[in-house]
Amino acid sequence: MMDFRSFYVDTLGCPKNEVDSRIIIKHLTSLGKVYKNPEHSDVIIINSCGFLQEALNELYERISYWKKHNKELIVTGCAVERLGVRYLEGNGLRAVYLDTLVGISKGKRRKGQTALPTFNNQYFTRDSIFHYTKIQEGCTRRCSYCVISKIKGPLRSRPLTDIIREIEGLYSEGVQEFILIAQDLSLYGIDIGEKLQSLLKNLPIGPYYRLMYLHPHGINEDIIRVIDGTPGILPYLHIPIQHISNRVLKDMKRAGGERSVRRSVELVRKHLPQFFIRVDIMVGFPTETDQDFEHLLTFMEDLRPERISIFKYSSESSTPSQRFEELDEDVKEERYEMAFEIAHEIMAKVQSSLLGYDIIVFKQGEHTWSQYDAPYIDFGVELKNNKVEIWPCKAKIIDVKQDLDLVGVKVEH
């Protein structure tokens, strides 16, 4: 499996996989392997996503792409955890579990026991303005449609001191924005006697911070007040609510149900009125009725979250939600289009409301984003007639493009 001299890692899926790829690169380079660009590497390691069938389809497309370029392939990551090595090898692929690839598997392997990042086991390029910091691995939530807990294994938190060391080290190298990620940030530390509040209170002053993936049931007034009192936290909270119908949330096995969803967003609106709320919303869950869907649309229009991601339910093998009879695909598509149209209208008004305001803007390569947007996930910013040498900078918003990206000019101090 390790009979190669050079390699390249092709990362698919969510930002958490970016961290896993850093672990792969660090371990293999410590063994004397050379990390090269794909054209000059002996082997391509595909760090896959396995969350949805859509992600598996993307994996197969990437496999086909690299094979057309006559590249040797090794597949690792979430798809391997989900499908198993034997399944992929039975289809003519070289596959390996992540913990085996990075040398942490000892004795009998525990399914889903994937690598936990530390400051020492990650490869850092130190040339990025933003950085994903994974503070925890695994999940204790048991959402009926989700395979993550099976793929990632039990919840494991990084020591607070190790997280701080990573941030301090990379900030000294020029990283300006740290994006704290986990399956659910609110669960940080429950396995090691810590809390998210403790981590936030100890964050170094200087960098900017963005919080992604806070389950509504884990949000309480204490967390919100600590966020409000922590310097550098950008006015952006990612809260994947999924739905608002209590009955649908119960069938999804979403802890706290409608009450937790409403309470979480009310706490943000009350104590953090300047914050943008980013929500993920699922339509077409098998037990979603027309009434449930109308209830969801009404909630969206009442809450008016500033950033909205809409996606259709996908039936995934080995998940409890498979026991429900699926809705017709045309019903799911119709609901998706209706929800997407409302989401677009809401976000268009939000973007227009920023006209004339000064906001913080970041840049990495050719991509530019604001304090209200996660890089490469939400909207971008185009700066006009400015030569900016130091990032981040302040920009006054002067226009909104058709795709809802912002247009601004640098604010001179």
Report which residue type is found at 371.
Q
**pLDDT greater than 60 at residue 110:** no
- Sequence-distant (≥ 6) Cβ neighbours of residue 343 within 8 angstroms: 281, 300, 308, 310
Q: What is the mean pLDDT of the chain?
A: 92
Q: What is the pLDDT of residues 143-162, one digit of tens each?
A: 999 888 778 888 899 999 99
107 — pLDDT class (breaks 50, 70, 90):
very low
d(CA 297, CA 318): 30
**Interatomic CA distance for residues 228 and 219, integer angstroms:** 13
Tokens of 332: 């799911």
Domain range list for the chain: 6-101, 130-352, 358-410
| CATH classification code of 6-101 | 3.40.50.12160
The rounded distance, in Å, linking the Cα atoms of 354 and 37 is 40
Measured between alpha carbons, how far is 350 from 251 in angstroms, rounded to an integer?
32
More confident residue, 260 or 55: 260
Class of residue 1 by CB neighbours under 10 A (exposed 0-12, middle 13-18, buried 19+):
exposed
Cα–Cα nearest to 63, from 54, 74, 49, 50:
74
pLDDT greater than 50 at residue 243: yes
Domain 130-352 CATH class label:
alpha beta
Confidence (pLDDT) at 152: 82
Its pTM stands at: 0.93
Burial class from Cβ neighbours inside 10 Å (0-12, 13-18, 19+) for residue 381 reads: buried
Rounded to an integer, the average pLDDT of 234-239 is 98
Q: How far is CA 231 from each of CA 203, 206, 235, 305, rounded to the nearest angstrom?
A: 9, 8, 11, 24
Q: Which residues contact 54 (CB under 8 A, 6 or more apart)?
A: 314
Q: What percent of the chain has pLDDT over 70?
A: 97
